[in-house]
Structure 1
Amino acid sequence: MSEAPERPTRKPTRRDVARLAGVSDAVVSYALNGGAPVAPDTRRRVLAAVAELGYRPNQAARALRSGSARTLVLAVPDRDDPVFANPFFAEYAAAIESAARERGYALYSTATSFEPDGLRARFEEFAARMVDGVLVLSSGAADRSAIDPVGLPWVDLNAPGARDGVASVGTDLRAGAERATEHLLDHGRTRVAFVGQLDDREPRHSGWRAACASRGVPPGRVYDGGYTRDGGYVSGLRIADEDDRPDAVFAASDRTAVGVLRAFHERGVRVPEDVALVAFDGSWEAEYTWPPLTTVRQPIEAMADAAVARVLDPAGERAHAEFDAELVLRASCGPHR
């Protein structure tokens, strides 16, 4: 005779947790979701009961009751060069997730077009999913007239400056570029080239140019390296093959500088003896090149914390938070004085 099949076990409820922990249903909710202070010993009893019973809150029901999924979205540009292939943005995203988690929110990332109609459609999708706010890595490109009517709080990341009515976070890129260039000039270099964007309105480009002008030194050549390793590599080959090559290079990103370093290595150009090099961003890979890169580090953790705090405070001021960058000295610029 075959055994009768086991009856399915009833899923534990919040009331079961409360009974085992010796507290009320409301205290279980406060301990798990916030909303009111709970004594540390009480919270520990609640969490122990949750673990013993295997209790799992119904997140969908909770979101419907509260109108909040306790979820943030990080929207990044959908492009051929994936954003997270850049170590700087990968580190930034990790810092944002940590800041969100500390406040009890989950973070999800998605790639999207920043064309106005497409971005608005994504915001409407986020609103339908009861997302609490969106962090938009648009570098100032997001059109507020397209997405403000949706009513979701949002913050623009990597913003180069203030825009009316937009909450944003960014680094003082121009000042950081000036400091990097001045450091090369302080090393006695007199022909400092720039590898980055050709547009002289871009803050790192304009900061490099301003630093040269303030010291009475003619700016060196500009090489179209963008923010990619490939762009830096091609630019580095051009520099290495020139008879009157510059004696220093300011690269607009760590990735660009990595490409420059490879090109110099292949052509036998010594760094820093022949050409000194300073980069921008301060990502982890800058420390592990050879020679290690002197770089201008953006304060990722502080920016991430400010961005999450702003998106969770929709009644707060819609303004730009600008952060200073730090020059991190390593071997690529030469001996430090």
Structure 2
Amino acid sequence: MPAPNTRQVTITEIAREAGVSVPTVSRVVNGRDDVSAATREKVEALLRHHGYRVQRAPRRSRAFLIDLVFDDLDSPWAVEIIRGVEDVAHAAGAGTVVSAVHGRTDSAEAWLQNLHRRASDGVLLVTSQLQEDLGPALRESSVPLVVVDPAGQPPLDAPSVGATNWAGGMAAAAHLVQLGHRRVAHVGGPSRLLCSRARLDGHRAGLEAAGLVLDPGLVREGDFRQASGLRAAQELLDLADPPTAVFAASDQMALGVYEAVRRHGLRVPEDLSVVGFDDLELATWASPPLTTVRQPLAEMGGTAARTLLELADGREVPHPRVELATTLVVRDSTAPPRSTTLSHHK
């Protein structure tokens, strides 16, 4: 064992030396019983060696309060996640504090200060920016944490809840291929996000299963919002050989595709079939109602909340990553392609 260190070590350093996760060290430090005897002995030996006192005080009393944190709250799917969290929290007698950090470091730091003042039972993160800005601070905290639909591999060693994005993308492509479409475009979310890449990969796999290849010229990147769907679809419809169908990786971008079709003097689905992703309430009110891949957002929020409450009660979570199934919901925005090309209608 290395020579003792005169400075106060952090639990991050202890975790690295012990070869375990930071939350595991935190559980040992806080006297939690959901750690194996061998791991506890190794961690406690290092804590003693470095002069880090192990607190054996009983776990603090429950505040019956959950912190739910988003990057932004201006997306309709955020409301669905809040609804799922609220249902579970209410049934457990807990309140919910909803915050948005807007991707700004100062907002994230202010939120962290407020979190410590509230002494919440735990945190649900529906964000990637906060993880980048305050990852070290959260690692040092003993507050339970669950990530909802992480944009990539969560840098925080925490349980996460997501959806089967790849399977959803494959189902969308397979549906369009079965209708007879061969030139199927993709309007995706930001490529830096794992969920965006998974939906695109699923789309590609759905085409390949039918012996087709995704044309790179039919792929555009958006940001999940309507304006980006509009821009992408305008570019696609202006091609010499435009697509006969589009799979948009969000319902909001799909509505942007609708607008591009309208501006080109065309119609959905007669001239262009459109599939979205999310199955937000607005999908049923679109004209025509939107065929889409249902992402169980409320269920994701509820599952994450139940997981967080289990952690707050000191129980171990058996599955660190949970993915809920997506399902294709067929409505009126998809149909077999016309025998003529869109270029004849311009």
Per the TM superposition, whether the score is higher than 0.5 is yes
Matching residue of 2:185: 193
Residue in structure 2 matched with residue 148 of structure 1 by the alignment: 139
The change in CA–CA distance for 1:146 and 1:116 in structure 2 (over 3 A counts) is: farther
Instruction: Check conservation: 2:191, 2:221, Cα contact below 8 A.
Output: no
Q: For 1:79-158, what aligned pairs fall within 5 Å after superposition?
A: 83-112=72-101, 119=108, 122-139=111-128, 142=131, 144-158=135-149
Query: Does 1:227 find its partner at 2:219?
Result: no
Whose relative contact order is higher, 1 or 2, with alpha carbons under 8 Å and at least 6 apart?
A: 2
Aligned-residue offset at 1:140: 8.9
| CA separation of 1:150 and 1:116: change in aligned 2, threshold 3 A | farther
How many residue pairs are counted as aligned between the two chains?
265
Q: Which residue of 1 aligns with 2:299?
A: 302
Asked whether 1:265 is paired with 2:257, we answer no
For residues 112-166 of structure 1, give each alpha carbon's deviation from its aligned partner in whole angstroms, at most 9, with x where no partner exists.
Answer: 2667897466334312211111110125972554412111111101125765832
Say which of 198, 205, 224 aligns to 2:200.
Answer: 205
Q: 1:305 offset after TM fit, Å?
A: 1.8
Gaps of 5+ in 1: 1-65, 78-82
Q: Is the 8 A contact 1:169 1:303 kept in 2?
A: yes
1:239 aligns with 2:236: yes
Deviation string 1:32-82 (CA, Å, 9 cap, x unpaired) is xxxxxxxxxxxxxxxxxxxxxxxxxxxxxxxxxx743321111111xxxxx
CA shift at 1:197, angstroms?
Answer: 3.3
DSSP-derived class of the 1:331 partner = coil
- Please state whether the residue corresponding to 2:168 is helix, strand or coil: helix
Q: Which amino acid aligns with 2:243?
A: P
Is contact 1:282-1:298 (8 Å) kept? yes
Whole-angstrom CA distance in 2 between matches of 1:139 and 1:176: 22
- For the pair shown, the structure with the greater C-alpha radius of gyration is 1
Worse overlay, 195-204 or 306-315: 195-204
Give a deviation string over 1:268-307, Cα, whole Å, max 9, x none: 1221121111110110001111111000011123212211
Give the stretch that moved more between structures: 208-217 or 192-201: 192-201
Consecutive unaligned residues of structure 2, counting only runs of 5 or more, are 1-59, 337-346
User: Identity of counterpart residues, as a percentage?
Assistant: 32
Q: CA deviation at 1:97?
A: 1.4
User: Please, what TM-score do these two structures have when normalized by structure 1?
Assistant: 0.72
SS in 2 for 1:104: coil
Aligned mates of 2:223, 2:87 — CA distance in 1: 29
Q: Name the structure 2 match of 1:215.
A: 210
Deviation at 1:319, TM superposition (A): 0.3
Q: Establish whether residue 75 from structure 1 lines up as the match of residue 75 from structure 2.
A: no
Give 1:233 shift. 0.9
2:28 aligned residue: none
Q: Supply the RMSD in Å over aligned alpha carbons.
A: 2.4
The residue matched to 2:131 in structure 1 has which SS? coil
Report if aligned partners of 1:75, 1:112 keep a CA contact under 8 Å in 2.
Answer: yes
